[in-house]
């Protein structure tokens, strides 16, 4: 018992002694691997909503609407909304695109009957999508957009996300 106490006291003394010593900083080590992607949205200047568009929703009209909580009065006043549609290869392309059937997009913040954002997607009524599609709707503030010098990053969701990740 006495020996264990002596060993613990000696270890504590060494830990405290070494902690107090400070030498010159060495060179920086190699950069670590990228961490996992954070949750979507979260930044008031940049948000993402995922909207599933079942093929059966198109009917014969060529237009569908869905609620979208990230369309707010602030976005309507001074923000930007960009939709991306997942193509058959798994990439998210802007509208229109040669890689999916969606040809138009619109959005609004409705005040009645229930306040909230609404997004609408359009296609050629005679050739609606025959498979379910997924949309990623991105909203960003005007100040966030002004920080993007190379606007080509807005052409696809993947290139925009690469830009956002380098900004963090």
pLDDT (tens digit, 9 = 90+) per residue, 88-138?
999 999 998 888 999 999 999 998 888 999 999 999 988 889 999 999 999
Residue 15 lies in a domain: no
- Cα separation, 46 vs 108, in Å, equals 18
Query: Among residues 62, 61, 45, 168, which one has the least CA distance to residue 122?
Result: 62
Residue 93 is assigned to a structural domain of this protein: yes
The owner of tokens 């954002």 is 117
Q: Residue 145: inside a domain, yes or no?
A: yes
User: Could you read off the pLDDT of 43-98 as tens digits, one per residue?
Assistant: 568 899 999 999 999 988 899 999 999 999 999 999 999 999 999 999 999 998 88
Does residue 157 lie in a domain region? yes
Is residue 29 situated within a structural domain? no
- Say which CATH number the domain at 136 has: 2.60.40
- Cβ neighbour number for residue 123 with a 10 Å cutoff: 22
Does this model's pTM top 0.75? My answer is no
Give SS3 for 36: coil
Predicted confidence (pLDDT) per residue in 7-33, tens digit: 444 444 444 444 444 556 667 656 655
Angle at 24 between CA 22 and CA 27, to 5 degrees: 130
Task: Report how far residue 17's alpha carbon sits from residue 148's, in angstroms, rounded to the nearest whole number.
Answer: 50
Cβ contacts of residue 11 below 8 Å, gap of 6+? none
Whether the CB-CB separation of 104 and 122 falls below 8 Å is answered with: yes
Number of compact structural domains in the chain: 1
Give a yes or no: residue 21 inside a domain. no
Q: Is residue 73 part of a domain?
A: yes
Does 8 fall in a domain?
Answer: no
- d(Cα 50, Cα 52) in Å, to the nearest integer? 7
* Structure confidence at residue 143 (pLDDT): 87
| Range of the structural domain that residue 99 is part of | 46-167
């Amino acid at each position: 018992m006495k020996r264990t106490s002596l060993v613990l006291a000696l270890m504590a003394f060494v830990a405290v002694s070494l902690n107090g010593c400070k030498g010159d900083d060495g060179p920086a080590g190699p950069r670590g691997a990228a961490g996992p992607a954070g949750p979507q949205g979260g930044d008031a200047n940049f948000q993402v909503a995922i909207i599933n568009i079942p093929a059966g929703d198109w009917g014969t009209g060529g237009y569908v609407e869905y609620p979208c909580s990230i369309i707010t009065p602030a976005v309507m006043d001074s923000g930007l909304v960009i939709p991306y549609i997942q193509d058959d290869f798994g990439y998210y392309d802007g509208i229109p695109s040669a890689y999916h059937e969606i040809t138009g997009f619109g959005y609004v913040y409705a005040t009645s009957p229930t306040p909230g954002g609404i997004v609408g997607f359009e296609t050629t009524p005679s050739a609606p999508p025959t498979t379910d599609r997924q949309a990623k709707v991105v909203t960003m503030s005007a100040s966030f957009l002004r920080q993007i010098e190379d606007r080509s990053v807005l052409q696809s969701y993947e290139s925009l996300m690469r830009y956002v990740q380098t900004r963090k």
